[in-house]
Amino acid sequence: MNITTINNIPNNIDIEITLFGDSHTLCFVGLSIKSDQYLLINQYNKQFLIKNRNKDSVSITGLTNKDSKLKYNKIINYNINNNDNNYYIFKLGQVDVEYIYYYKLFVKKESIDIINFYNKTIDSYISFLKSICKKNIFVCGINLTSWTNIKYYISYLSSIMNIDIDTLSELLKDFTLLKKQKNHLLFNKILKEKCDEVNIIYFDLTNECCNITDNEISVKKEYLDIKKNDHHYNGCHGNIDDKLYKLTYTTFLTKLLQLFK
């Protein structure tokens, strides 16, 4: 795969792809491309142009919220209405699974069942995608969590929800990393089923990036950002030309472009 970062769109592009999603969308491109830069990829005897329009911290929940501070739905519609792209890739849901659910549960004190929350969230996602009225939409599932210890995750939640860590630890005393991973798999399972129902193509990187056995569900070590101990895969903070991060980009872009084989 030949990848080049460019500043101007050439005339001989076969397929244009725009990426929409939260910060985990950077698994495809890292920090290599900004709004005025693009990836040019030669693969399968075709010229692919990749545009990145992700926004940190966006959630599915915010897409249909008129009072959303990030107003990402308007950003999506603006980009689609003002660009004649061929294909649109959506990667959302990580924020809902890892933060929104627990915010509703512990901060807003809502009595919510996680399966009902997933179903309601994904139904609104599908409804939003259908409203765009574009045929060439693909949905990428969420990543499995890259936290290697549930204590790290609880500490992260404590800081962003402004809840005392001891209080939160008590509330989540029976919550394990394995349970968290199973929640991510459950979300993706429901998402795939609902995408299939409306003929939206779904894909994820679970098989490529994760170990799943009877006793283990985890992200493979090579995709973990050990130095940062971060909730992103290794590569989201780097440049696509940096060999240290190349594996993540190559894996994600390869899976994406296989859809056009």
Q: Model confidence over 105-151: pLDDT tens digits?
A: 999 999 999 999 999 999 999 999 999 877 799 999 999 999 999 99
In sequence order, which residues have a C-beta less than 8 Å from that of residue 221 and are 6 or more positions away?
A: none
Q: Model confidence over 94-103: pLDDT tens digits?
A: 999 999 999 9
Cα–Cα separations (whole angstroms), residue 3 to 23, 203, 241? 21, 22, 9
Give the H/E segment covering residue 5. strand 2-6
Average pLDDT of span 60-81: 88
> Residue 130, CB half-sphere, CA atoms under 13 Å: how many?
12
Q: Are strands 2-6 and 38-43 parallel, antiparallel or unpaired?
A: antiparallel
Q: Closest by alpha carbon to 184, among 55, 89, 98, 91?
A: 98
pLDDT number for residue 215: 83
pLDDT number for residue 126: 96
Q: Which domains does the chain have, with CATH numbers?
A: 2-144+175-260 (3.40.50.1110)
What's the CA gap between 177 and 110, in Å, rounded? 23
| Residue 50 reports pLDDT greater than 90 | yes
Neighbour-count burial for 50-83, b at 16+ CB within 10 Å, e otherwise: bbbbbbeebbbbbbeeeeeeebbbeebeebbeee
Q: For the chain, what percent of residues have pLDDT higher than 90?
A: 75
Q: Model confidence over 17-31: pLDDT tens digits?
A: 999 999 999 999 988
Q: Model confidence over 180-230: pLDDT tens digits?
A: 999 999 999 999 999 999 999 999 999 999 999 988 899 999 999 877 778
Q: Closest by alpha carbon to 24, among 121, 103, 93?
A: 93
